[in-house]
């Protein structure tokens, strides 16, 4: 930070843990998570909000970490991909959605995966039994150059089929 840069102290909850940190007014949330909190699961791709790799949940709603300033998260609850394994870990220490991604080979390079997982987490919270169209609509906000999305859709539907209240 330069000596001219304005800094504020923020308090927020990330993955169930409370933090208070001084942060530059202009630092985006994704960089704050990665650099200040060492939560490197949130990836930064395009830095324009188009690719979705930086998607996190802010008070339960998907947000692009590259477009949101860290100071805007003051008082908020943030969930990153690191929080997912804590949701009833399976035999491999993975949460249900992560396990479905593993079972269905729904990732290749994995760069886009954290953002996709967070958007799908929101979807499955709001609609525990989405149909394929609903999954594809959520995925339309993410760019993946490796998988072709079919296995990602299959993984999301697999996770939904195992969720309480599934059809």
Q: Range of 47's domain?
A: 7-81
Please check whether residue 152 is in contact with residue 116, taking contact to mean a CB–CB distance below 8 angstroms. Answer: yes
Q: Which comes out higher in pLDDT, residue 10 or 164? A: 10
With respect to residue 167, please indicate whether it lies within any of the assigned structural domains: no
* The 3-state secondary structure of 130-156, one letter per residue: CCHHHHHHHHCCCCCCCCCCHHHHHHH
Same domain, 104 and 35: no
Q: How confident is the model at residue 86 (pLDDT cuts 50, 70, 90)?
A: low
Q: What is the mean pLDDT of residues 48-60?
A: 96
With respect to residue 166, please indicate whether it lies within any of the assigned structural domains: no
CATH number at residue 77: 3.10.20.30
With respect to residue 2, please indicate whether it lies within any of the assigned structural domains: no
* pLDDT tens-digit readout, 101-113: 999 999 889 899 9
Same domain, 74 and 122: no
- What predicted TM-score, i.e. pTM, was given to this entire model? 0.91
DSSP bridge partners of 78: 14, 58
* pLDDT tens-digit readout, 109-152: 989 999 999 999 999 999 999 999 999 999 999 998 887 899 99
């Amino acid at each position: 930070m330069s000596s001219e840069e304005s800094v504020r102290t923020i308090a927020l909850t990330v993955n169930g843990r409370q933090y208070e940190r001084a942060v530059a007014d202009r630092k985006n949330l994704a960089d704050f998570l990665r650099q200040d909190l060492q939560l490197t699961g949130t990836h930064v791709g395009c830095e324009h909000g188009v690719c979705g790799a930086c998607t996190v949940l802010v008070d339960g709603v998907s947000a692009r970490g590259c477009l949101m300033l860290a100071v805007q998260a003051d008082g908020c609850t943030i969930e990153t991909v690191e929080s997912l394994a804590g949701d009833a870990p399976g035999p491999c220490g993975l949460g249900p959605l992560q396990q479905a991604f593993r079972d269905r080979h729904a990732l290749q390079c994995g760069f886009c995966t954290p953002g996709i997982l967070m958007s799908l987490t929101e979807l499955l919270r709001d609609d525990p039994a989405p149909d394929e169209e609903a999954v594809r609509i959520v995925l339309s906000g993410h760019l993946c150059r490796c998988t072709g999305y079919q296995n990602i859709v299959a993984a999301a539907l697999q996770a939904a089929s195992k969720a309480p209240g599934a059809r």
